[in-house]
Amino acid sequence: MPPKQPATAAESGASPWDEAAERIRASGFRWTPQRRTLVEVLRAREGHVTATELIACCRERDQTTTPSTVYRTLDLLEDLGLVKHGHGHDGHEEYHILPQQVHGHLYCVGCGATWEIRPETGAVIVEALASQLGFTVDLSHVTISGRCAGCHD
């Protein structure tokens, strides 16, 4: 019987998180218990998380977790490309975990729902700014507000 193939990257044996410790040390930084805690939390999740949620998750594993250390570690992981921060509709921080193909978000001020911007749609926006202004947009950094199809006055 052949070994079962993992369905997602998160279930497979190899994960970018496995190399986190090495990469941190290789860059002259230190592998500390606080950083290990955050990496374990992030490894167990996918998609998006708010900074506040991450602090809460870390505190579950280590009661002594401090916000400033989490924020500083997130900055470090962002430098390594393991997370990428953005802002929700209210300006609060959100993190994309393992941002391979990052995407933008839409928020409806009518119903409060959010959607991910599909690649085709995002491409139109990116190309408009690129061709008209030579500006390379990072759509994933902010949540664009508006009204969804179901919420027009």
| Contact footprint for DNA (CB under 7 A) | 24-25, 28-35, 50-52, 64-69, 71-73, 76, 92-93
52 binds, among DNA, Zn ion, a second copy, none (CB under 5 to 8 A by kind): DNA
Q: Per CB under 8 A, which region of 44-52, 63-71, 75-83, 126-134 contacts a second copy?
A: 126-134
Q: How many CB atoms lie within 10 A of CB 135?
A: 10
How many chain residues are in contact with a second copy, going by CB under 8 A?
34
* Residue 71, contacted partner among a second copy, DNA, Zn ion, none, CB below 5-8 A by kind: DNA
Encoded tokens for 28: 């002259």
Residue 70 half-sphere exposure, CB side, CA atoms within 13 Å?
Answer: 23
Measured distance CA(45)–CA(146) in Å, rounded: 29
Using CB under 5 A as the binding rule, whether residue 123 contacts Zn ion is answered as no
DSSP annotation of 118? P
